[in-house]
Amino acid sequence: MTSGMSTTHMTNHLSLLFSFLVAFIFQSCDQKASLGEEVQHVKVYYEEGMYGGWPANWGIWSWDNEVLVGFTKGEHLEKESHTFDRSTSKTMFARSLDGGLSWSIEDGYEHGITEATFEHNIGERSKPATTLGDRIDFSDPNFAFTFRMTNLLEGPTSFYYSYDRGKSWNGAYQLNVDFGSKNSAGIVSRTDYIVDGKHSMTAFLTVGFVDGDTDWREVACVRTEDGGLTWKLLSWISPEQFNSIMPSSVRIDESTLLCMIRQTKPPEMTSYLSKDNGLTWSTLPNPVTVDRNGNPPALLKLQDGRLCLVYGLREKETRPEGIGMYVTYSSDHGQTWTEPHLLRGQDGAVWDIGYPRAVELPDGKVVAVYYYNNADAGDPYRYIAATVFDPGLE
C-alpha cells in the first residue's frame, strides 16, 4: 500500500507547521506581555444620526472605579471632514461606576457647563465667565477641574471646578495669565493639569498667536499657588511658530515633569522634560510616529512606575497594522519607548478617530476613552468608545 505523501514532503509539512506554531506562541506571548491578558472594547456613547467626538478636548477624571469623561455631541452631517453639524454641538459627559465597562450620559449644561463655546452651542442660555472670588481646594477627594476654550485661536479660555465628582460644576471663571512681552491672540486650552497641593496646581496651556497672515499656537507651563485666583507663567515649552497644541503631562518626581505635545505642522508628537519643576525644558526623542494632522497623546504614569502612552493613527500607511488606537510604554521616564502595539483597529475605521484620554484603575487596568467609527464596515456614525486593558509587564 502506498501513501499519497512522500516522507520528504511530510517532513517539510511538519516543519512548516512547527514553525507556524512557534511563531503563533511567540506572537501571543508578546501580545500578553504588552497588553496583559484581557482587552475589552465598550461603546460609551453611540446614537444613530449623531456624532460623538474628541474626549481629549474636555478631559477625564477618576475616583477609584468611577470614571468621568467629557465629549462633544452633535448631529451627523455627511461630508469629507468631520461628519457633524457644528451648530448643533454640545458638551456632554459620560460616567462609569464599574471601571469603564458600562456608562451613563449626562448633559453638560444641566450639570453646570453654562458658557457657550464653538462646540457648546447653547444660544441665549449662555452665561459669561466671571472672576473667581474664593480659593479652590485642589486637595478635595471629589475634586475635578477643566479648562474650556471658546474657540481655536483667539480665546479666551475659562475654567470650572467641581467638589462632587462632576455632578455639579462651579464656573465659568476667567483665566488670565501675564505672558510678558509675547503678544498672544488668546489662551485656547484643553484640560491638562497636575495638582501639587491644597492651593497649588501646575497647568499646561495652549496659547494662540497671529502675525500678519501667519498663525500658530504654543504650549506654556503656568502655576497657581493661591487656589486659582492668580496664575504665573513659568516657561514656554514648545518652539515658536510650530503649531503645538494639546499637551498631556505627568509628574515624575518632586522636581521632574514630562510633557508630550501634539504638533500639527509638521505632524509630530514631541516630548519635553523639565528637571526644575517647570522652569526650563529639554527636548526628548519623539516617542512615536504620527500622521495626518497629528493626534493628541494620552500620557499616564502607572502604579509600577512605567509610563503608558495611548494615541491614534489616522492613515493606513503609517504602521503595518493601519488606522487605529495604539499603546506604548517607557521604563526610563520617556527616554525610550517600546514598539507600539495595536490596541484597537482593523475593524473598518476611517481616519476620523482618536483624541484619547486615559486613567489607571486601582487594580492596575487602564481605561482609555476616545472617539471611533466603523464607517468602512457600513456604519457611518462616530461614537465614543472605551478600551479597558491590562498594561501587563514588559
Confirm whether 164 is domain-assigned: no
Confirm whether 222 is domain-assigned: no
Confirm whether 210 is domain-assigned: no
pLDDT at 38: 82
pLDDT at 316: 97
In angstroms, what is the C-alpha Rg of the chain?
23
CB 264 within 8 A of CB 152: no
What is the count of structural domains for the chain? 1
Give the pLDDT means over successive 10-residue stretches in the chain (394 positions). Answer: 39 40 37 59 98 98 99 96 96 99 99 98 98 99 98 95 99 97 94 99 98 94 99 96 95 98 95 99 98 96 98 98 98 98 98 99 98 98 98 74
CB 122 within 8 A of CB 90: yes
- Look at the alpha carbons of 205, 166, 109, 312 in this order and tell me if their dihedral is positive or negative: positive
CATH at residue 87: 2.120.10.10
Q: How many CA atoms lie within 13 Å of 58's alpha carbon, on the beta-carbon side?
A: 28
Give the angle subtended at the CA of 56 by the CAs of 78 and 313, to the nearest 5°: 65
Confirm whether 375 is domain-assigned: yes
- The 3-class secondary structure across 225-258, one letter per residue, is CCCCCCEEEEEECCCCCCCEEEEEEEECCCCCEE
CA–CA distance, 31 with 27 (Å, rounded to integer): 6
pLDDT at 24: 36
pLDDT at 7: 39
The pTM (predicted TM-score) of the whole model is 0.90
Chain position carrying cell 462616530: 382
Confirm whether 254 is domain-assigned: yes
Residue 99, domain extent: 36-144+244-389
Q: Tell me, what amino acid is at 162?
A: S
Confirm whether 236 is domain-assigned: no
CA–CA distance, 125 with 371 (Å, rounded to integer): 28
pLDDT at 241: 83
Confirm whether 27 is domain-assigned: no
Confirm whether 192 is domain-assigned: no
